[in-house]
Amino acid sequence: MSFKITNSWNPKGDISGASSQSIVSNSKKLREKWTEFQGIKNWEGLLDPLDDALRDEILRYGEFVEAAYRSFDFDTSSPGYATCRYPNVSVMTQCQLGKTGYKVTKNLHATCGVQLPTWTECRIPRWASTRSSWIGYVAVCNDKDEISRLGRRDVVIAFRGTATSMEWLENLRATLTRLPTDMTPEHDSDTMVQSGFWSLYTSSMGHRPSLQDSIRNEISKILQKYADEPLSITVTGHSLGAALATLTAHDITTTFKHSPLVTVVSFGGPRVGNKNFRSQLEKSGTKVLRIVNSDDPITKVPGFVLDDNNAQVSLSWMQKMVEDTQWVYAEIGKELRLSSKDCPHLSNGGVATCHDLKTYLHLVDNFVSSNCPLRATAKRVLNRDQEQKKQLLCGQSLGSLRV
């Protein structure tokens, strides 16, 4: 569900050329209304048209995800394959995020729960059977100026997408499995999530703890250390990382009774769970913003979604029978829907292009609204309107002269 990112995203919109006045204005808006940008009101009135300050925040979190890709050692011939290429203290600097004010406090590893037969040990290369791999990090904002700009101290948990063979095996385990009752506040035994994602989140190996245990321990320390400060936890990821981000956020809100606002910003994420899982997310206060490219097939898998209107008119026993197949998923969170077809140089791209994180960041950077998808289009519309106004004014002036 992911493809290797070889180059840093290069913004092609107008953000880089924004005036200092607009930057100051957005910073003030962010500081005063940061809870709204984190989804406290479910991003009402901020997505269509896309608010410029929210756009900046989405792109900023996208860069944290890209840092997870750039830090991962993809080289299968390297002794450090599937590990982080940099020590904690230099991850942000190496990924050109040194000025963000964030510092990595914890490396995160995901372990595949699939056990390969013993006869495969001498028949497949070591890299193909790597079960545990570095998948992301926890970073905390420690810069006073950045904390002031954000309006709170922000904690980021960032995940990359699928990279190893064993992670692909987990992706293919697409049937639903039940969450343990300690992660369902109402002890709902029908709350279910994708089997492979759950396995990657909860499996451990030897002395390496599960991703779930690592996150719980780190968040516990952070909540104790910054208990007296305004705090936010933002979990972000691309593809497989988006799915793990959703599970992580739900785990935090259900594990820590007095957790701060927990927000998911996901890019190109697959479906994660059923409608009961969606209901539990909403009740726990977890906020999910899904960035979706409508031309990206990964966002349409696994399983299928029952249309609620059709389900209401169908026989209840038939609906129950279909849901028992463990293939019925539900879309979750608030959606920002984009399309590669709206961008001329991306419209002919294949699956890899549509799913690429850089494509998502480019689309976000250029999106205006559902009626005017791209900034370039907006400029043309604006120029056309201005020209029409000039012609109208000119006509009025000529008319007055004739009179």
The catalytic site residues sit at 239, 296, 355
Smallest CA-to-CA distance from 240 within 213, 215, 211, 217 is with 211
**CA atoms in the 13 A half-sphere facing the CB of 136:** 31
Calculate the CA 297 to chain-centre distance. 16
DSSP annotation of 50 reads B
* Nearest-angstrom CA–CA distance, 397 and 79: 77
Q: How many CB atoms lie within 10 A of CB 229?
A: 10
| Neighbouring-strand partners of residue 50 | 47
Residues 6+ apart with CB under 8 A from 229: 152, 153
Residue written as token pair 């419209």: 347
* Nearest-angstrom CA–CA distance, 300 and 287: 21
Residue written as token pair 């539900």: 330
* Nearest-angstrom CA–CA distance, 384 and 388: 6
Sign of the alpha-carbon dihedral angle for 172, 183, 159, 354: positive
DSSP annotation of 217 reads H
Sign of the alpha-carbon dihedral angle for 43, 46, 50, 51: negative
Torsion on CA atoms 292, 329, 183, 106, rounded to nearest 10: -30
DSSP annotation of 89 reads G
